[in-house]
Amino acid sequence: MNLKKKNSLFGALDGSAISDIALTDIRPDPDQPRKTFDESTLKDLASSIEQHGLVQPIIVRVDPDKSGKFLITAGERRFRAVQMLEQTTIAAIVRNDDNASVVAIIENLQRVDLSPIEEAEAISRLIDDQGLNQTTAAKLLGKNRLTINQLLKVRQLPAAIRAEAAEMDVSKSILVELALLTDEAMQLKLWQRGREGGLTVREIREAAKAPERSDGEPTNKTSVRRLTRSGSAIFQVNKAVDVLQKQKLSEADRAEIHGIINRLNALTIAAGEAEN
């Protein structure tokens, strides 16, 4: 283990000592929530470190499986960027408290660039490892309990969707809405539609309210409901007209009312033909 105390201009805010540790003695946490790293942004970070130095040391803990080695608690992007520069050591703070793994999860969950899939997996791991319920986890992470519940539902999506979503820039709201659907075939169909030409939350919700036949058209039950609503509206208008006709109306007013009724009836018939 190559660990050298660092006498640096910057110091740990909490008083922890900063050391220069050999990169070969450090490895990423296999349970780290983030699974993908954008190569271009890593290169930008490496360029910044090369010009200005490492402004913030990484945080590591003793590796329980490898003597004399360390696991990254926070700062894997910085670690990878320094690797790109082919440096041999990196400034690090060693923390060996019992909650180091929890700190690692929370630190990553507070980042804005985790994918929804990575975020859901991290929250699930935190809950399982610490024996938390959703309410406690929400307080610990500073999130709404409903948000935690919705993210955990994302883990119930079909494996094919989860795998693709982890590699794509897809919004959390889209995945949550898909997860709320109970029909896996519908989930996969909508996901495919989204991959081909985009998908909105509204479209997913409409699909949930209006089940489709295998040919993609609304079910007969849905069509009947639509026609029933249209017919009911016409019936109500006709009742109103009957009342009006008992009043003293000019011939022009009566003609206009009957014209409106005829147009509404024509629209209802057209709607019925379109549904069939």
DSSP classification of residue 218: B
Asked if residues 161 and 113 have their Cβ atoms less than 8 Å apart, the reply is no
| Strands, sheet with 89-94, edge to edge from the N-terminal-most edge strand | 3-5, 18-22, 89-94, 58-62, 70-74, 26-27
Options 3.40.190.10, 3.40.720.10, 3.10.20.340, 3.90.1530.10; CATH for 3-96 is 3.90.1530.10
Helix (H) or strand (E) holding 84: helix 76-84
pLDDT tens digits, 149-200:
988 999 999 999 998 888 888 888 899 999 989 889 999 999 988 887 778 8
Q: At what angle do helices 172-180 and 116-130 cross, to 10 degrees?
A: 70
| Domain 115-209 top-level CATH class | mainly alpha
CA distances from 21 to 65, 98, 184, 192, 272 (A): 18, 21, 49, 47, 75
* Residue ranges covered by each domain of the chain: 3-96, 115-209, 220-275
pTM: predicted TM-score of the whole model, two decimal places: 0.50
In a structure prediction context, what are the per-residue pLDDT tens digits for the chain, which is 276 residues long? 555 544 433 334 444 678 899 999 999 988 776 777 878 888 988 999 999 899 889 888 888 888 889 998 888 889 999 999 999 999 998 887 666 667 767 776 766 567 888 888 888 888 887 888 999 988 888 888 998 998 899 999 999 999 888 888 888 889 999 998 988 999 999 998 888 777 888 888 888 776 554 454 544 444 444 444 444 455 555 555 555 555 666 666 666 676 666 666 666 555 554 544
